[in-house]
């Protein structure tokens, strides 16, 4: 079943409009990040993690409300185990210091005392506690940034080897664009919706890395079709070839992105508070990853190639790795 038949959209001609849209969103996110600050989770800021077992089933809202009354604002609360009596609580470093300093109690003792005072009919037993220092959190921040950086470098090397270095530059710029747009939405919408936790933690880092993989997958499909059409239509100009390649791969892009989008919508609605931030970030990433592969990656590659042509610099048709290999045996694929 085909949803799109022989579309003839001038994607390359509309690329500059989408450049502006992407720049506006990215700049807005960076302005929010510098003006309001980026809220880091316990993974990156440090804090305390406590596992408690209640005598009876308990509601997450009751536990969170009790902690807020005791001064533990922004605490992460979720269930663990097979029933609704095991609760995992995570409190940030700055919150635990300000809350526990006044009474001379430890953070864990203060949490237990707060829950006992506000939920007296349901006693909680301490099962496990774990402390994450701010130095460890800072180290995790650094490793998270390096993970995104090295992933982009690996993408550049792969596409430069498989296609052209110019296409690799376009793909990396589009990938960084996707991460920055997702980061911008996370910073802007964090705190606006109470049930939407978009603080920077390992869950959002996983979302950013997943967005990178999703985006580059779509980009590789389009680049592969551009390479095929360049051989098939050698007499045509680059803009026509690129537009044809994008139009030919458009049904695949829409169907793939659409199915992932619907899955994430379900996860966002019914996945619970813990996964809602991941699902929201991925929803943004799926949308931006789709249009960046079409407009940003292909558009920037086109601009670079045309710029080099105007300067009289030679443009390699394809790298040696991109040329089809000769068959050396019946069992070896080309």
Single out the residue of 41, 90, 31, 48 nearest to residue 200, CA to CA.
41
CB environment 200-227: b (16+ within 10 A), e (fewer): bbebbbebbebbbebbbebbbbbbebbb
User: Would you say residue 166 has pLDDT above 60?
Assistant: yes
More confident residue, 166 or 94: 166
Residues 181 and 88 in one domain: no
Confidence band (pLDDT; 50, 70, 90) for 103? low
Tell me the Ramachandran region of residue 91: left when phi exceeds 0, alpha when psi lies from -120 to 50, beta otherwise.
Answer: beta
pLDDT score, position 283 = 93
Residues 141 and 256 in one domain: yes
| 3-class DSSP assignment, residue 191 | coil
The fraction of the chain above a pLDDT of 90, given in percent, is 5
Domain boundary among 84, 102, 132: 132
Residue 332 lies in a domain: no
| 3-class DSSP assignment, residue 125 | strand
Residues 206 and 219 in one domain: yes
Residue 253 lies in a domain: yes
Single out the residue of 305, 221, 204, 233 nearest to residue 257, CA to CA.
221
Residues 195 and 169 in one domain: yes
Residue 250 lies in a domain: yes
Average pLDDT over residues 130-145: 78
- CATH number for the domain that contains residue 120: 3.30.70.100
Residues 228 and 302 in one domain: yes
- CATH number for the domain that contains residue 232: 1.20.1640.10
pLDDT score, position 313 = 63
Confidence band (pLDDT; 50, 70, 90) for 325? very low
Residues 192 and 293 in one domain: yes
Single out the residue of 20, 25, 52 nearest to residue 125, CA to CA.
52
Tell me the two tokens of residue 215.
């985006």
In whole numbers, what is the pLDDT of the chain averaged over residues? Answer: 80
Residues 157 and 21 in one domain: yes
Contact 225, 249 (CB under 8 A): yes
Domain boundary among 132, 151, 176: 132
- The pairing of beta strand 76-79 with beta strand 86-92: antiparallel
Tell me the two tokens of residue 181.
């747009």
Residues 123 and 144 in one domain: no
What Å distances lie between residue 295 and 132, 170, 260, 292, CA to CA?
42, 10, 20, 5
Confidence band (pLDDT; 50, 70, 90) for 328? very low
CA angle 314, 316, 322 (to 5 degrees): 175
User: Would you say residue 216 has pLDDT above 70?
Assistant: yes
The predicted-structure confidence for 47-84, as pLDDT tens digits, reads as follows 888 888 898 888 888 888 888 888 887 777 887 777 77
Task: Name the DSSP class of 164.
Answer: -
**Residue numbers of the domain that contains 56:** 47-132
| 3-class DSSP assignment, residue 241 | helix
In sequence order, the 6+-apart residues with CB closer than 8 A to the CB of 14 are 295
User: Would you say residue 263 has pLDDT above 90?
Assistant: yes
The predicted-structure confidence for 169-209, as pLDDT tens digits, reads as follows 888 888 888 888 898 888 888 877 766 778 888 888 889 98
For the whole model, what pTM was predicted?
A: 0.76
Domain boundary among 100, 132, 164: 132
Residues 88 and 143 in one domain: no
The predicted-structure confidence for 231-243, as pLDDT tens digits, reads as follows 888 878 888 888 8
Q: How many domains does the chain have?
A: 2
């Amino acid at each position: 079943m085909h949803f799109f038949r022989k579309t003839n959209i001038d994607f390359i001609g509309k690329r500059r409009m989408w450049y502006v849209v992407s720049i506006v969103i990215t700049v807005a996110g960076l302005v929010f990040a510098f003006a309001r600050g980026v809220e880091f989770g316990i993974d990156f800021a440090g804090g305390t993690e406590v596992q408690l077992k209640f005598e009876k089933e308990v509601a997450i809202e009751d536990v969170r409300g009790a902690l807020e009354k005791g001064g533990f604002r922004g605490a992460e609360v979720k269930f663990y185990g097979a029933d609704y009596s095991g609760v995992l609580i995570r409190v940030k470093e700055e919150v635990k210091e300000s809350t526990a300093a006044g009474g001379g109690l430890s953070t864990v003792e203060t949490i237990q005392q707060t829950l006992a005072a506000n939920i007296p009919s349901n006693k909680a037993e301490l099962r496990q506690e774990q402390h994450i220092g701010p130095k460890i959190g800072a180290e995790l921040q650094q490793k998270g940034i390096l993970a995104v950086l090295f992933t982009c470098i690996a993408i550049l090397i792969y596409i430069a080897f498989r296609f052209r270095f110019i296409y690799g530059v376009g793909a990396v710029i589009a990938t960084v664009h996707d991460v920055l747009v997702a980061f911008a939405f996370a910073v802007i919408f964090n705190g606006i919706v109470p049930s939407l936790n978009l603080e920077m933690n390992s869950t959002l880092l996983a979302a950013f890395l997943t967005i990178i993989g999703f985006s580059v997958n779509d980009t590789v499909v389009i680049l592969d079709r551009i390479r095929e059409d360049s051989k098939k239509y050698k007499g045509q100009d680059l803009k026509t070839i690129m537009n044809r390649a994008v139009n030919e791969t458009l049904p695949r892009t829409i169907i793939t992105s659409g199915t992932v989008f619907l899955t994430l919508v379900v996860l966002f609605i019914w996945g619970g508070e813990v996964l809602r931030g991941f699902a929201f970030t991925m929803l943004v990433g799926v949308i931006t990853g789709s249009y960046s592969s079409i407009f940003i990656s292909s558009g920037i590659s086109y601009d670079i190639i045309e710029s080099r042509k105007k300067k009289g610099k030679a443009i390699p048709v394809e790298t040696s790795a991109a040329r089809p290999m000769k068959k050396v045996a019946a069992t070896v694929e080309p």
